[in-house]
Amino acid sequence: MIKIKRRWEIPECEVTPEPLYRRRREFMQAAGAIGGALLLNPWAGAEAALAIGDYQHKAISTDEELTEEADATSYNNFYEFGTGKEDPKRNSRRFRTDDWEIRVSGECEKPGTYDLEALIKPLPLEERIYRLRCVEAWSMVIPWLGVPLGSILKSFQPTSKAKYVALKTLHDPVRMPGQQRSVLHWPYREGLTIAEAMHPLAILSVGMYGKTLPNQNGAPVRLVVPWKYGFKSIKSIVGIEFSETLPQTSWNMAGPREYGFYSNVNPEVDHPRWSQKRERRIGEIFKRDTLMFNGYAEEVASLYAGLDLAKNF
Ligand SMILES: Nc1nc2c(c(=O)[nH]1)N[C@H]1C(S)=C(S)[C@@H](COP(=O)(O)O)O[C@H]1N2
Ligand SMILES: [Mo]
């Protein structure tokens, strides 16, 4: 067995501002009650580089109450493992993600097939507490562990022709039995403009609640774009392509009138079949008002200056 340094052995108090440190301790303690062994994090090796980062973006971590970890890991959308909310946890139990590779292609100087661990390991792992708001009007607040998507993308040296980034999930109907049914065009595809992809709020996540990402939440690596509807946050990524043209996305292909390319959280623009004005935080009874850009307007509104958001939904 490989000896992995436990997360709680990292002197977090030295790298984490006080309020976050206290919150973190709270959920580490809660998690610890379930069983310390589960807290082993393969990304948290002995190297200093793997300690939680310097929180340069702490201002954008919310201090709202966290969603219960049990809820965040048992009420999921991951159609590769079934379309019911409880399917992903049950059906992804045996999904193996060792030796995960990501194929990088298109408009960049360094295309190729990269080992996930080699890509992520040199970067400091940061903890960001972000809201995730699903298009179905439920939301969660999750402590994600990840690295800025932009840091990874820059290492591939995108060319000036790279206007968009297209991301792809693994396509393997044996390992992902939900792909045996044509509920979506497989593989699951998503995309961002290059400016969105380089925005510091967008992260590639490899963990949550201080642990490795559970399969049902998109192991071993998924996107988190907190100002957009949940379906943009693509899970189990195996492909990154820099492109000059607008990439196709699975939900836009499935329903172009219902799911646009941008899919920014916007209470003013209704989904054709329902209002987007309110949401229910998982674990709460009463609905709350949905905020523009999911509450991240100050950080991201400038990305869309001059764009008609009713047309570019
Ligand atoms: N590959 C893939 N990624 C996906 C999905 C999916 O079905 N397949 N569902 C999306 C949707 S609709 C949402 S709301 C979020 C849910 O993330 P969570 O289960 O971690 O809360 O994942 C998104 N990423
Ligand atoms: Mo969603």
Q: Which of 78, 85, 133, 140 maximizes ligand 1 atoms within 8 Å of its Cβ, making it the mutation to test the pocket?
A: 78
pLDDT at 37 > cutoff 70? no
Tens digit of pLDDT for each residue in 118-156? 999 899 899 999 999 999 999 999 999 999 999 999 999
pLDDT at 19 > cutoff 60? no
Going from the Cα of 191 to the center of ligand 2, the distance in angstroms, rounded, reads 15
Tens digit of pLDDT for each residue in 282-313? 999 999 999 999 999 999 999 999 999 999 99
Cα end-to-end span (Å), the chain: 49
Domains of the chain from N-terminus onward = 12-301 (3.90.420.10)
pLDDT, residue 54, reads 42
DSSP class of residue 66? P
Closest Cα to atom 10 of ligand 1: 231
Which residue spans within 161-247 are E strands per DSSP? 164-169, 189-193, 203-208, 211-212, 222-224, 237-243
CA 58 to CA 63: how far, in whole Å?
A: 10
pLDDT, residue 59, reads 55
Going from the Cα of 278 to the center of ligand 2, the distance in angstroms, rounded, reads 15
